Amino acid sequence: MHLSQETGIRAPSRGRRFAPARAVLALAPLAACALLGAPRASAANPQPYQVDWVPSGDGTIDSTMKLTSQLETLRTAAPVDPYGLIARARGDVGRLRTVLESFGYYQGRIAITINGMALDSAGLGDALTALPKSSSARVKIRPTLGPLFHVGRIDIKGALPKGMEKALGLKPGAPAVASEVLAAGMRLQDALQDAGYAFAKVRKPVAYEVPQQHILNLVFQVKTGERVRIGGIRIEGLKAVHPALLRRRLLVHSGELYDAATVERARQDLLALGLFSTVSVRLGKPDPAGRVPITFTVAESRRHTVGLSAAYSSDLGGSAGVHWSDRNAFGNGERLEVSAQAINLGGTASTGLGYDARIGYSIPDFKRRGQTLGFSVRGLRQALQAYTQTGETLGTTLSRKLSARWQASAGLAYEHEIIDQESQHYDYDLLSLPLAARFDSTDLASPLLDPTHGFRISLNVSPTLSRGAPTASSGVTNQVFIILQGTLATYYDLHRLLPSDPAGRTVIAARLMAGVAVGASQFSLPPDQRFYAGGSGTVRGYRYQSVGPEFADGNPTGGTNMQALNLELRQRVGRNFGIVAFVDAGGVSSASCRGTGASSSSCGGVSRASGGVYRVGMGTGVRYYTSIGPIRFDVALPVHRRPNDDRFEVYIGLGQAF
């Protein structure tokens, strides 16, 4: 027998064919292709039918069979006449038996009946033809697994370096699942190529069935080839990008022992620069000294991009913006970005039109690999129920990638802002030193994509020197305070608990956020530096910034502490849609003005400013999945609605809520 993607496992002595699981998984797109070639009855004579599945006892096998069965996948898409139904069922017998064999059940059986009659019954066609036009045929599929075959003897033909056979990762006695057997050969080939045998090949194994003992004996044929080192390295396809940038970043160097895994990491690293649409690798012929040349071929992406953005929530209203970027400003991957947004277009938590304009410039690999120096300029105006703010910010940030999952940054920022709150006018100058550390194990290329596993952790510390005071008070005061904020988000795929549920279809997402201001009281903090809760980023169902202490007129005051917890159940539906159910809880608290040293003018008019205010919101939403991330539509209700709360809130945006 021979394991092959094309022919499966073949037993010459018995003439039977056994397909590996890899081939079975490939049958899903085959079923889609069958839509074009499946026989179709005339519109006047289709035979409707229903499919009843008898569980096999293994949920994963049952799910694979349903994806493979044309009776299931073409039931509504490609109607057939009675005789076409019989032909489709007969074809499914072989297809489903292949599924059983790919999971190691080489003596399994598939029994299919239509209206209780076997497929080889002489009168089945006449019986179906005689059915009333509106009557559906009942198709029952009953799989019988039979004994599970296991791996017997494993032989390797060909010379192997000492100890390399362990790379197979397959031992006698293991279940003879075709995908695992094929994967073992690939692991051995990868291990050889990672050890310098650049042209090593491991053919698909030949399998010999021993039916009485329910085992498969395997033979792997190996051709190792010569061990080589890396020779000359060429880069082709560059136009506007300077070769020196890529030379500095390359993870492989001439003279090193060839390692296929390192070469692949080097290819992916170049692609991660964001400058190229494709990066491919080509090996040349080894020279007499045993060195193999490597050529990286790149295709540069468009240098300039222009895009539009829009979002809406019932509390903050709409926003619309445009952004422009140059991804390679001076040939070394320098990125220049300009964006402008109109914000607060309506909304129950806003009181007027605002804007958010930014210019950013970043230099990759600044002084060392994986380190980026960035500069930014921002102008912001937002008119909110809590306060009205107009400010300008200048900042620089040095960020470093510590590992594949860890990143740290440090910066310096200056901000001048004018804030009006409760008839008081504030004029501040803020000098801050923002420090951040981030961990991300979701393994996604973009934060907008849909995470299904892993953690996202962030910690931000911002020591700040504030100079300014309300114009109504005498003199200008200086103070130093520290803002600490932390976030922990995690994602759990229920496929790990329920293997019958396809991977990535049902995900539980949870996020915990907390923040505290140290060194300042509630009203000595600038209003925009205080903590607020409510809105799409914290507690959905409540207006933006509306959860927390309030002034006597019901407007938010903000506080010195904030906590929030979000929990979501995300369910994919079909190919592009999903539904979400969520519960959010959070609140803001502060010490009272007494004992803080704040002036009476700073605390004047405050009601319920002491203690904490916590709220719970809940709701549901719809997702439409695109190549750049899901489009989000959420509706949330306040669980404990106050007189000044909206009945519900609506949120529309790009990407998951967290």
Asked if residue 381 lies in contact with residue 390, where contact means CB atoms within 8 angstroms, the answer is yes
Domain membership flag for residue 248: yes
pLDDT band at 448 (very low <50, low <70, confident <90, very high): confident
Q: Which CATH number goes with the domain that contains 187?
A: 3.10.20.310
Distance CA 58, CA 62 (A): 6
Residue 17's Cα: distance from chain center in Å?
38
- Asked if residue 204 and residue 123 are part of one domain, the reply reads no
Asked if residue 521 lies in contact with residue 591, where contact means CB atoms within 8 angstroms, the answer is yes
Distance CA 476, CA 581 (A): 49
Distance CA 234, CA 231 (A): 10
Average pLDDT over residues 117-142: 92
Domain boundary among 188, 223, 258: 223
Domain membership flag for residue 234: yes
Q: Tell me: the pLDDT tens digits for 170-210?
A: 999 999 999 999 999 999 999 999 999 999 999 999 999 99
Distance CA 387, CA 422 (A): 8
Q: What is the domain range of residue 510?
A: 304-654
- Asked if residue 425 and residue 316 are part of one domain, the reply reads yes
Domain membership flag for residue 4: no
Distance CA 261, CA 194 (A): 6
Can you give 428-489 as a three-state secondary structure string? EEEEECCEEEEEECCCCCCCCCCCCCEEEEEEEEEEEEEEEEECCCCCCCEEEEEEEEEEEE
Domain membership flag for residue 43: yes
Say if residue 37's pLDDT is above 70. no
Cross-strand bridge partners of residue 583: 567, 618
**Cα–Cα distances in angstroms (integers) from residue 374 to residues 355, 364, 394, 410, 450, in the given order:** 22, 9, 11, 11, 27
Q: Tell me: the pLDDT tens digits for 267-320?
A: 999 998 999 999 999 999 999 999 999 999 999 999 999 999 999 999 999 999
Domain membership flag for residue 591: yes
Average pLDDT, the chain: 88
Other beta carbons within 10 Å of 628: 11
Say which residues have a Cβ less than 8 Å from residue 203's Cβ, sequence separation at least 6.
185, 220, 221, 222, 223
Say if residue 243's pLDDT is above 50. yes
Structure tokens at 233: 């390295």
Cross-strand bridge partners of residue 622: 579, 633
Average pLDDT over residues 457-475: 79
DSSP string across 347-393: -TTEEEEEEEEEEEEEETT-SSTTEEEEEEEEEEEEEESS-EEEEEE
Say if residue 39's pLDDT is above 80. no
Between the CA atoms of 51, 56, 58 and 61, what dihedral angle is there, to the nearest 10 degrees? -50
- Asked if residue 294 and residue 313 are part of one domain, the reply reads no
Average pLDDT over residues 601-618: 62
Phi-psi map region of 600: left, alpha, beta (phi>0 left; psi -120 to 50 alpha) = alpha
- Asked if residue 364 and residue 387 are part of one domain, the reply reads yes
Between the CA atoms of 55, 56, 60 and 65, what dihedral angle is there, to the nearest 10 degrees? -80
Burial class of residue 168 (count of CB atoms within 10 Å of its CB; 0-12, 13-18, 19+): buried
Structure tokens at 346: 């309506």
Asked if residue 458 lies in contact with residue 438, where contact means CB atoms within 8 angstroms, the answer is yes
Phi, psi of 28 (to 5 degrees): -60, -50
Distance CA 623, CA 636 (A): 15
Distance CA 622, CA 628 (A): 17
Domain membership flag for residue 2: no
Distance CA 337, CA 335 (A): 7
Phi, psi of 129 (to 5 degrees): -60, -30
Asked if residue 309 lies in contact with residue 329, where contact means CB atoms within 8 angstroms, the answer is no
The mean-pLDDT minimum among 15-19, 212-216, 639-643 falls in 15-19
- Asked if residue 333 and residue 286 are part of one domain, the reply reads no
Say which residues have a Cβ less than 8 Å from residue 297's Cβ, sequence separation at least 6.
235, 236, 237, 279, 280, 281, 282
Domain membership flag for residue 335: yes
Say which residues have a Cβ less than 8 Å from residue 120's Cβ, sequence separation at least 6.
none
Domain membership flag for residue 1: no
- The amino acid at 584: D
pLDDT band at 16 (very low <50, low <70, confident <90, very high): very low
Residue in 383, 382, 409, 413 with CA at minimum distance from that of residue 398: 409
pLDDT band at 469 (very low <50, low <70, confident <90, very high): low
Task: Please report the pLDDT score of residue 498 as a whole number.
Answer: 87
Task: Please report the pLDDT score of residue 611 as a whole number.
Answer: 53
Cross-strand bridge partners of residue 589: 561, 612
- Per-residue burial over 585-624, b = 16 or more CB atoms within 10 Å of its CB, e = otherwise: bbbbbbeebeebebbeebbeebeebeeebbbbbbbebebe
**Percent of the chain whose predicted confidence (pLDDT) is above 70:** 89
Report the alpha-carbon angle 380-386-390, nearest 5: 20
Give SS3 for 141. Answer: strand
Q: Tell me: the pLDDT tens digits for 23-34?
A: 333 333 333 333
Average pLDDT over residues 381-392: 96
Give SS3 for 129. Answer: helix
| Number of structural domains in the chain | 4
- Asked if residue 473 and residue 505 are part of one domain, the reply reads yes
Task: Please report the pLDDT score of residue 372 as a whole number.
Answer: 96
- Asked if residue 310 and residue 294 are part of one domain, the reply reads no
- Asked if residue 233 and residue 122 are part of one domain, the reply reads no
Q: Tell me: the pLDDT tens digits for 88-126?
A: 999 999 999 999 999 999 999 999 999 999 999 999 999
Domain boundary among 100, 122, 144: 144
Average pLDDT over residues 326-338: 96
pLDDT band at 499 (very low <50, low <70, confident <90, very high): confident
Structure tokens at 644: 């000044």
pLDDT band at 445 (very low <50, low <70, confident <90, very high): confident
R_g of the chain computed on alpha carbons: 32
Average pLDDT over residues 407-422: 97
- Asked if residue 280 and residue 177 are part of one domain, the reply reads no
- Asked if residue 253 and residue 282 are part of one domain, the reply reads yes
Distance CA 578, CA 621 (A): 8
Can you give 77-108 as a three-state secondary structure string? CCCCCHHHHHHHHHHHHHHHHHHHHHCCCCCC
- The amino acid at 523: F
Q: Which CATH number goes with the domain that contains 433?
A: 2.40.160.50
Domain boundary among 127, 144, 161: 144
- Asked if residue 314 and residue 207 are part of one domain, the reply reads no
Say if residue 600's pLDDT is above 70. no
Q: In the chain, what is the straight-line distance between the N-terminal and C-terminal CA atoms, in Å?
A: 51
Q: Starting at the earlier edge strand, list the strands of the sheet with 229-236.
A: 229-236, 291-300, 276-283
- Asked if residue 535 and residue 622 are part of one domain, the reply reads yes
Task: Please report the pLDDT score of residue 43 as a whole number.
Answer: 31
Q: Tell me: the pLDDT tens digits for 345-371?
A: 999 999 999 999 999 999 999 999 989
Q: How many residues does the chain have?
A: 658
